[in-house]
């Protein structure tokens, strides 16, 4: 991927598979934890470089997904990270049976930015450049997270990060890890065949959240998620469900609770009429 040299010049560089251990870096700060591992802020010893290192869990299933992520990052390294607005990946290495991925350090994720601003709705003049940048990234990949690069110096300059759940569409397997619940497409909730369109659904939910100041579909369960979606978008079409029954309906919250013992919740700030 494109990376900066010490003098600030940019060059294209493929993701390298390094034999250097984690001891080459000094851990400065713990940044967060996810399904597949944790992320730490590090100083690369002997240089002025500050990077983010994603350390994957030492588990066979996570290791396999890690290999997919490395493969995707290696493929993306042939493209311009700045032009297509995705995070630069510098190298990967093994440390005590953990796969470690080294990325450029970005400033703040979009959620923390909204939280810092007390979830105030963003004006459309700020939403548009964010949307344009993520749509550009979608030309090359399937995104999970959106980061602000440097909010103080470059307001609303964003990059897409985290390819832990990414896959080539021809090899994708449906599971809930593909998308966070609030942004999960109906195809994923219902276990149906899917394509890149699920990314457009997620992006639409993100843009709505920026405009409203709160999540559009904040379901506490998959049932509530599909209930919220159905109340605004209507029920999924028959061809999506591939149902043998000519008619079907979504169970009421009371029926769902009686069957599962799980009480439905109303987590929305506001409800909307069907469109």
Annotated binding site for ATP, which residues? 54
Q: Cβ distance 256 to 250 under 8 Å? A: no
Two tokens at 266? 């109303």
Contacts of 194 (CB under 8 A, 6+ apart): 172, 174, 185, 187, 188
Annotated binding site: 54
CA dihedral 125, 129, 130, 132 (to 10 degrees): 130
State how far the Cα of 27 lies from the Cα of 55, in Å rounded to an integer: 12
Residue 9, Cβ neighbours under 10 Å: how many? Answer: 7
Q: What angle do CA 218, 221, 222 make, to 5 degrees?
A: 95
Contacts of 45 (CB under 8 A, 6+ apart): 24, 25, 26
State how far the Cα of 31 lies from the Cα of 41, in Å rounded to an integer: 6
Three-state DSSP class for residue 93: strand
Two tokens at 272? 């909307």
Three-state DSSP class for residue 10: strand
Two tokens at 168? 């080539």
């Amino acid at each position: 991927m494109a990376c900066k040299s010490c003098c600030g010049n940019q060059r294209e560089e493929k993701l390298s598979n390094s034999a250097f251990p984690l001891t080459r870096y000094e851990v400065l700060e713990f940044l967060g934890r996810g399904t597949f591992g944790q992320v730490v802020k590090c100083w690369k010893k002997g240089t002025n470089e500050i990077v983010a290192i994603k350390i994957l869990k030492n588990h066979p299933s996570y290791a396999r997904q890690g290999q997919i992520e490395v493969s995707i990052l290696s493929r993306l390294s042939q493209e311009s990270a700045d032009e297509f607005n995705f995070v630069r990946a510098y190298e990967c290495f093994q440390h005590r049976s953990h796969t470690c991925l080294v990325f450029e350090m970005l400033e703040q994720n979009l959620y923390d930015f909204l939280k810092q601003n007390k979830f105030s709705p963003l004006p459309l003049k700020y939403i548009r450049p964010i949307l344009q940048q993520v749509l550009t990234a979608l030309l090359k990949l399937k995104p999970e997270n959106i980061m602000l690069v440097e909010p103080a110096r470059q307001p609303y300059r964003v990059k897409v990060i985290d390819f832990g759940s990414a896959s080539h569409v021809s090899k994708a397997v449906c599971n809930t890890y593909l998308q966070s619940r609030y942004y999960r497409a109906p195809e994923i909730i219902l276990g149906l065949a899917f394509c890149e369109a699920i990314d457009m659904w997620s992006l639409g939910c993100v843009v709505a959240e920026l405009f409203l100041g709160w999540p559009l579909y904040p379901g506490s369960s998959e049932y509530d998620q599909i209930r919220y979606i159905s109340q605004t978008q209507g029920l999924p079409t028959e061809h999506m469900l591939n149902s043998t029954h000519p008619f079907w309906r979504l169970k009421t919250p009371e029926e769902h609770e009686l069957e599962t013992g799980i009480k439905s919740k109303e987590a929305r700030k506001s409800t909307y009429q069907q469109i």
